Amino acid sequence: MSKLWQKNNKVSELVEKFTIGNDQAMDMYLAPYDVLGSIAHTTMLAEVGLLTAAEQIAIKKALVAIYEKIQAGTFSLAPGVEDIHSQVEILLTEALGDAGKKIHSARSRNDQVLVDIKLFLRAEIISLTESVHSFFKVLQAKSEAHKNDLLPGYTHLQLAMPSSFGLWLGAYAESLVDDITVLQAAYKVVNKNPLGSAAGYGSSFPINRMRTTELLGFESLNYNVVYAQMGRGKAERITAMAMANIADTLSKLSMDASLFMNQNFGFIQFPEELTTGSSIMPHKKNPDVFELIRSYCNRIKALPNEIMMMTTNLPSGYHRDLQLLKEHLFPTFTELKNCLEMASLMIQNMEVKKDILEDPKYQYLFSVEEVNKLVLTGMPFRDAYKQVGASIEAGKFTYSTALAHTHEGSIGNIGTAIIGEKMKAVLAEMGYEKVTQRIAELLNT
């Protein structure tokens, strides 16, 4: 089957196979967004006189029908079709004749794939934000439920000071607030319209780029057409870094949970159906879910560097290297959302051990508390530190497990509600409602 860019020459089958690569599979991720971009583009073409009103109505009706097939899971790229852009144009031409051939006016595959990727990333960021928020609420609920259950705190993996399950889980909840803040920044970079930049140098057609920006619900344009093309790879890298931050939070939590499940710690446990056993050791309850989350997330943390290296030393303008950015980035959204879902399942069903710090082996966790008590009587801190240190060395250390931490963010004041308000404020700035409304309007026939 001939390609949209092909003239009269025949391309080597080896070259064709190599250059197309996995694009067909990757373009299925972009399929609904390619149709949305085409609806916006052809609406604008009709408004500037490059399509008749009748052609635009017929094209939009056909495009909406294709979109519905994609959403229903009954759409596919035909064998030999190079990409989603080609498939859509072929279907329109078969259905509408010459009108189908007109949709590429004032457009290049370069800005088509750019707008597809921007729309895809935007939708996935919205979906990922919802997944993160769901997990955040699980962490907050569990944190509040166990705020009075004490837990050893560690530095250098050595006993340090008293903590609590509420403080531990609340830390990861607040970490997600910062992660969403970075994801919001990625959203702002992604939510700019590159359509109309064509091959990277604009068009002599009298197109209206602000109109397609409005139709697709973008916040603004990528104004400079050269930069619109330069943004390919940059938007992906920034989004990957935002995902890597979330992955880092999940990976660290998973490492903690794996340690705390260990029999030498014995702080938490899970129902048997959420753990796995051993083929020869009948006592085993392995934290396979957390171990896999840790591994998936550590791999995601490598993604920004991979994208950075793939775009290193590329000059301005389009290069085929950029095609390969799709292969690892696109599936990562599903992987990360799966990890969030599984982490939610585990934390919701986590059981904590009560009265852990009553065990005398944790007595030195309270050494700072005893120092502070002496300071409160008027003793200088360094003298109090030496006195308690000497009692520990002499084997005469005495302590109380009673705690009186009152400042913001401490054991006695973990700030669940305040952290919840911080998350709410970040989410409110995302402005997803406009996007949802514009896409609904675009598909309305």
- Amino acid residing at 56: Q
pLDDT of the residue at 16 = 73
Tokens of 383: 């003298």
Tell me what pLDDT residue 320 has: 85
The reported pLDDT for the residue numbered 108 is 92
Separation of alpha carbons 363 and 198, rounded Å: 69
User: Going by C-beta distance under 8 Å and a sequence separation of 6 or more, which residues neighbour residue 136?
Assistant: 173, 176, 177, 423
d(CA 114, CA 324): 14
User: Cα separation of 334 and 329, whole Å?
Assistant: 10
Q: What's residue 5's pLDDT?
A: 45
In this prediction, residue 6 carries a pLDDT of: 53
CB atoms within 10 A of CB 304: 20
pTM, rounded to two decimals? 0.93
Of 1.20.200.10, 3.30.70.100, 3.90.1150.10, 1.20.210.10, the CATH number of 110-358+415-443 is: 1.20.200.10
Crossing angle between the packed helical segments 303-310 and 234-261, to the nearest 10 degrees: 150
* Closest-CA residue to 276 (of 256, 295, 261, 255): 261
Per-residue pLDDT of the chain (445 residues; tens, 9 = 90+): 545 545 556 667 788 777 767 778 889 999 999 999 999 999 999 999 999 999 999 999 999 999 999 999 999 999 888 889 999 999 999 999 999 999 999 999 899 999 999 999 999 999 999 999 999 999 999 999 999 999 999 999 999 999 999 999 999 999 999 999 999 999 999 999 999 999 999 999 999 999 999 999 999 999 999 999 999 999 999 999 999 999 999 999 999 999 999 999 999 999 999 988 767 787 878 889 999 999 999 999 999 999 999 999 889 988 888 888 999 999 999 999 999 999 999 999 999 999 999 999 999 999 999 999 999 999 999 999 999 999 999 999 999 999 989 999 999 999 999 999 999 999 999 888 999 999 999 999 7
Q: Are 192 and 122 in contact (CB under 8 A)?
A: no
For 378, how many CA atoms within 13 A lie in the half-sphere containing its CB?
0
Q: Is 285 helix (H, G, I), strand (E, B) or coil?
A: coil
Domain boundaries, the chain: 13-105, 110-358+415-443
Which candidate, 345, 359, 379, 415, places its Cα nearest to that of 173? 415
CA–CA dist 259, 265 (Å, integer): 7
Distance CA 301, CA 295 (A): 10
Alpha helices in 225-319 (DSSP H): 225-230, 234-261, 288-301, 303-310
* Tokens 């017929």 belong to residue: 58
Q: In the chain, pLDDT over 90 holds for what percent of residues?
A: 84
Fold of 13-105: Fumarase C; Chain B, domain 1 (1.10.275)
Instruction: Please tell me the predicted confidence (pLDDT) of residue 215.
Output: 97
Q: What is the pLDDT of residue 81?
A: 86
- Contact assessment for residue 88 and residue 76, using Cβ atoms and an 8 Å cutoff: no
Tokens found for residue 436:
């949802």
pLDDT digits (tens, 9 = 90+) for 323-337: 889 999 999 999 999
Q: Which two tokens stand for residue 261?
A: 């499940």
Instruction: Check if the beta carbon of residue 416 is closer than 8 Å to that of residue 140.
Output: yes
Token pair for residue 62?
């056909």
The token pair that represents 303 in the structure block: 């993604």
In degrees to the nearest 10, what's the CA dihedral of 177, 182, 186, 187?
A: 20
Nearest to 262 by CA among 418, 395, 152, 103: 152
Burial class (CB in 10 A: 0-12, 13-18, 19+), 326: buried
CB 109 within 8 A of CB 85: yes
CB atoms closer than 10 angstroms to residue 152: 18
The owner of tokens 């920034």 is: 238
The dihedral built from the CA positions of residue 245, 251, 254 and 259, taken in this order, carries a sign that is negative
306 CB-side CA count, 13 A: 17
Cβ atoms < 10 Å from Cβ of 222: 26
Q: What is the pLDDT of residue 9?
A: 61
* Residues 349-390 pLDDT 10s: 999 999 999 999 999 999 999 999 999 999 999 999 999 999
Query: Diameter of the chain by CA atoms?
Result: 94
> Whole-angstrom Cα distance, residue 160 to residue 394?
20
Cα–Cα dist 22/312, whole Å: 22
> Is residue 87 helix, strand or coil?
helix
